[in-house]
Structure 1
Amino acid sequence: MSDAKDEGTIGITVEFSGGLEMLFSNERKLSLTIPAKDEDGTRSNIAFLVRHLCDTVMKDPRKELFVLDDTVRPGILVLINDADWELEGEDKYEIEEGDNILFVSTLHGG
């Protein structure tokens, strides 16, 4: 009897589109296992996920193309399970097992 829900980690899918995948080794879709709790012992939320992505997943040094003032920069749409993150509490949304989080850049230059 294996317990699929390890209390210490959460399995999620993170997707990048609109050019953001360039910052993540051209990976459009990642299956990640993240800690269930952040550095302070509270449940991991989107703010933690963004830090985790920048610190451990992103190999590109241009982090400023993804974050500004410790949050996702303006012009990047964030969808949590196909819903706009503004409906879910933005970066305070507590991540749950199986969540799908999509980051889409709406900035295309010109």
Structure 2
Amino acid sequence: MTTLELQFGGGLEALFSHKKQMEVRVPDESVRTIKDLIEYIRTTLIRERHDMFISQGTLRPGILVLVNDVDWELVDAREYVLKEGDHISFISTLHGG
């Protein structure tokens, strides 16, 4: 299991019982990259309104993703391999994020 710190902002916290931050343990064998993490979040953590997070099988446009406070585009984006203790932030820029 890998433990990650997830943070949500810009209105996305409404999808997660209004929690802005949570620690999540994900299975190493099925959640290796951010792409896997996004699917894990959709299927495991979001109870309703999946369309606010995922659109057409990918992260919705307008959501900024930071990996350890660095734009995910600088660390291989969806293919970034998750590490123990990573801090992943999802911030909607469409809701004042």
For normalisation by structure 2, the TM-score amounts to 0.93
Name which structure has the greater RCO, CA cutoff 8 Å, separation 6+. Answer: 2
Query: Structure 1 residue 94 and structure 2 residue 81: aligned?
Result: yes
Q: How far off is 1:70 after superposition? A: 2.0
CA RMSD of aligned residues (A): 1.3
5 Å-filtered alignment, 1:1-110, equals 9-38=1-30, 44-59=32-47, 61-108=48-95
From the two aligned structures, give the one with the greater helix fraction: 2
Alpha-carbon displacement from aligned partner over 1:48-102 (angstroms, at most 9, x marks no partner): 111111111112x211110112221110000000000000111111100000000
- Please list every run of 5 or more consecutive structure 1 residues that lacks an aligned counterpart in the other structure: 1-8
1:79/1:85 contact within 8 Å kept: yes
- Please list every run of 5 or more consecutive structure 2 residues that lacks an aligned counterpart in the other structure: none
Superposed structure 1 runs of 4+ greater than 4 Å apart: none
1:71/1:91 contact within 8 Å kept: no
1:81/1:99 contact within 8 Å kept: yes
| Equivalent in the alignment of 1:6 | none
Larger radius of gyration: 1
How far apart, in 2, do the equivalents of 1:12 and 1:103 lie?
A: 13
How far apart, in 2, do the equivalents of 1:76 and 1:29 lie?
A: 16
How far apart, in 1, do the equivalents of 2:94 and 2:84 lie?
A: 30
Q: Percent of counterpart pairs with the same letter?
A: 41
For normalisation by structure 1, the TM-score amounts to 0.83
